[in-house]
Amino acid sequence: MYAPPAWPATLGSGGYEAGWTVRRHYGDYAGWLAGQSDELMRARRDEAELNFRRVGITFAVYGDQDAGAADTERLIPFDLIPRIIPADEWERLERGLVQRVTALNRFIHDVYHAQEILRAGVVPAGQVLNNSQYRPIMQGLAVPNQIYAHIAGIDLVRAGNAQGAGEYHVLEDNLRVPSGVSYMLENRKMMMRLFPDLFSRYPVAPVAHYPDLLLETLRDASPGKSAHPTVVVLTPGMYNSAYFEHAFLAQQMGVELVEGQDLFVQNGFVHMRTTRGPQRVDVIYRRVDDDFLDPEVFRPDSTLGCAGLMAAQRAGHVAICNGVGTGVADDKSIYPYVPKMIEFYLGEQPILNNVPTWLCRDADDLKYVLAHLEELVVKEVHGAGGYGMLIGPAASADEIGRFRQAVLADPGNYIAQPTLSLSTCPTYVESGIAPRHIDLRPFVLSGQQVRMVPGGLTRVALQEGSLVVNSSQGGGTKDTWVLEA
């Protein structure tokens, strides 16, 4: 068994095989880490924090009762120890992600057109047509390439032996406005700055070309025939929690970052105001939720979008990415049916499995969930950011009691899943190097073809024993290294 002093033998499956030996693809890194002093690592951590703060890589915290106004902008903690994925492992993940996102796009197109999967009874029609994320205005509307989720963030977890001997499972599909890719890119830049020698030891696959792939994907969605379609990033503004990412991606792609007031619709076409006069817009990469996009169709009081956007799209004069109504496919009550979607549309068995899920809208599932609340993770179907969730084993009796009443009051608003024995990865914390639970969010781009950069955003639960990796709940991030074959 090999466990260098700087890398304790008590760490989890992220870096170790059963029996606490270092996994093969971590071997060189473990040897390198053993030679680094604690003083050097602390200095590098301080340097990373200083640079992230200078660049302005922050996120907003909403509704934090303990934070003053000055504390609502926070850095996402960055961990110095990378998560390493060998080439063969990534190859399977990539095939599974391409398969899944292809099926999800087929599903969204189907429910807004022929609805074959509903008529076949594979997915209950009521769960789709009565879903709060279903947008009737999209019914029958043709979109370029029949793609709705141009950018998908698929959350993966690696379960312990009880749930599949180290197999990756899909925990959640994010298809509306998935965020976090800017942290993936900045984490890599920071690691290359702090530890350049490591990248000569390891054949780490690059991720820096993501903005180029994203721009190409967005241009593929253009409904016009222009060889150089105009793409913009639509942001709710600087007070949005992901504003740094909006500005970062616009800058990296070399396109304009706009707010709703910068756009107007005239004669069925969308234009942006510029110092040289109006300029037609072909593709809008929107980071604004459906309800705020067009006050003529959705919320009339919204100032975040632009009146007439949906009419311009229906006329075939602009593309909105991700498409309006994609949320019907990433609802947590639809998630259990994705494996059936893969079989229905592609005629294939899923490469990546779901986490077992109970739908509280089902009477038998509800009975089981209520009898086992202290063992399960219970989530709101539209919840995000780690909010609206009960982790039974870590909850008090009072918390379980309150959640029981909430589930009974509105069963259709909740799902439940087993408390997974998530894998851990060595993480640099105040006490030194210790295991912390992690997940992985690869970003899948769908244009003329489905593709992605190798890796994704690894999120880490920095609190000891915690299973919640969300930044809003105190989580951090790591660089993700996919090794080239």
When pLDDT is averaged across residues 250-274 and rounded to a whole number, the result is 97
What are the extents of the domains in the chain?
356-418
DSSP assignment string, 319-337: EEESPTTTHHHH-TTTGGG
**What is the per-residue pLDDT for 24?**
82
Query: In this structure, how many other beta carbons lie within 10 angstroms of the beta carbon of residue 64?
Result: 12
Q: Which of 12-21, 204-213, 353-362, 396-405 has the lowest mean pLDDT?
A: 12-21
CA distance 39 to 47: 12
Q: Which residue has the tokens 């956007």?
A: 309
Contact 480, 455 (CB under 8 A): yes
DSSP assignment string, 178-233: ---HHHHHHHHHHHHHH-TTHHHHS-BPP-TTHHHHHHHHHHHT-SS--SS--EEE
Query: In this structure, how many other beta carbons lie within 10 angstroms of the beta carbon of residue 4?
Result: 14
**What is the per-residue pLDDT for 107?**
98
From the CA atom positions of the chain, what is the Rg in Å?
23
Given a cut of 80, is residue 256 above it in pLDDT?
yes
CA distance 120 to 122: 6
Given a cut of 90, is residue 235 above it in pLDDT?
yes
When pLDDT is averaged across residues 25-44 and rounded to a whole number, the result is 89
Given a cut of 90, is residue 293 above it in pLDDT?
yes
**What is the per-residue pLDDT for 16?**
45
**What is the per-residue pLDDT for 15?**
54
φ, ψ for residue 352, nearest 5 deg: -110, 130
DSSP strands (E only) in 9-77: 16-17, 21-22, 58-60, 73-75
Beta strands 263-266 and 269-272 are antiparallel
CA dihedral (415, 418, 421, 422) in degrees, to 10, reads -20
**What is the per-residue pLDDT for 82?**
95
Given a cut of 60, is residue 63 above it in pLDDT?
no
Task: Give the closest residue to 427 by CA, choosing from 83, 186, 16.
Answer: 83
When pLDDT is averaged across residues 73-80 and rounded to a whole number, the result is 83
| DSSP classification of residue 355 | P
φ, ψ for residue 317, nearest 5 deg: -105, -5
When pLDDT is averaged across residues 235-248 and rounded to a whole number, the result is 92
The predicted-structure confidence for 197-206, as pLDDT tens digits, reads as follows 999 889 999 9
Q: How far apart are the first and last CA of the chain?
A: 26
When pLDDT is averaged across residues 257-273 and rounded to a whole number, the result is 97
For 324-327, the CB contacts below 8 A with 24+ separation are: 324/135, 324/137, 324/138, 324/290, 324/293, 325/108, 325/112, 325/133, 325/134, 325/135, 325/137, 325/138, 325/148, 325/290, 326/108, 326/148, 326/149, 326/175, 326/176, 327/133, 327/175, 327/176, 327/290
When pLDDT is averaged across residues 475-484 and rounded to a whole number, the result is 93
When pLDDT is averaged across residues 397-417 and rounded to a whole number, the result is 90
3-state SS record for 106-172: HHHHHHCCCCHHHHCCCCCHHHHHCCCCCCHHHCCCCCHHHCCCCEEEEEEEEECHHHCCCCEEEEE
Q: Which of 17-21, 382-386, 433-437 has the lowest mean pLDDT?
A: 17-21
**What is the per-residue pLDDT for 226?**
80
Q: What would the two tokens of residue 285 be?
A: 């990469």
Given a cut of 60, is residue 439 above it in pLDDT?
yes
Q: What would the two tokens of residue 393 be?
A: 């084993």
> 228 burial class (0-12, 13-18, 19+ CB within 10 angstroms)?
exposed
Given a cut of 70, is residue 382 above it in pLDDT?
yes
Given a cut of 90, is residue 440 above it in pLDDT?
yes
CA distance 188 to 314: 40
CA distance 262 to 244: 19
Query: In this structure, how many other beta carbons lie within 10 angstroms of the beta carbon of residue 166?
Result: 14
Task: Give the closest residue to 373 by CA, choosing from 386, 361, 358.
Answer: 358
280: phi > 0 → left, psi -120 to 50 → alpha, else beta; which?
Answer: beta
Given a cut of 50, is residue 1 above it in pLDDT?
no
Contact 150, 322 (CB under 8 A): yes
Q: How far is C-alpha 327 from the geometric centre of its chain's CA atoms?
A: 13
CATH class of domain segment(s) 356-418:
alpha beta
CA distance 104 to 110: 10
> 143 burial class (0-12, 13-18, 19+ CB within 10 angstroms)?
buried
Q: Which of 79-88, 206-215, 283-292, 423-432 has the lowest mean pLDDT?
A: 423-432
The predicted-structure confidence for 174-232, as pLDDT tens digits, reads as follows 999 999 999 999 999 999 999 999 998 899 999 999 999 999 999 999 998 788 999 99
**What is the per-residue pLDDT for 10?**
34
